[in-house]
Amino acid sequence: MLNHGAALALWITLCLLQAGLAELVRCNFTLLESKVSSLSASIQWRTFGSPCNFSLIYSSDTSGPAWCDPIRIDNITYGCNPEDLQA
């Protein structure tokens, strides 16, 4: 869970889509971990089945939306660590 006492308003949206032949299909995922400090955040998730294309968008009260390119931790686990956030 996000720490509400961190005085950081952080909005994270995961757009998890799997490219199909004729249409986009949503991927199923499980949130493993999310952490927030005054200047950074961390989120990890796991997906099973076909490979998915991930996009993560985050923003705070003081900045507009920004992209965080997910890193692949292993075959089914991904993570993203946005930094340089403002409290």
Say how many C-beta atoms besides its own lie within 10 A of residue 80's C-beta: 20
pLDDT digits (tens, 9 = 90+) for 28-81: 788 888 887 777 777 888 887 766 776 777 666 666 677 777 888 887 788 877
Is residue 39 in some structural domain? Answer: yes
The answer to whether residue 36 sits within a structural domain is yes
Asked, for residue 85, whether it belongs to a domain, the answer is no
pTM, two decimals, is 0.52
Residue 87 lies in a domain: no
Tally of domains in the chain: 1
CA dihedral 72, 74, 77, 78 (to 10 degrees): -10
Domain that holds residue 43: 4-80
How big, in percent rounded to 5, are the helix, strand and coil portions of the chain? 5, 55, 40
CA atoms within 13 A on the CB side of 27: 21
Does residue 18 lie in a domain region?
Answer: yes
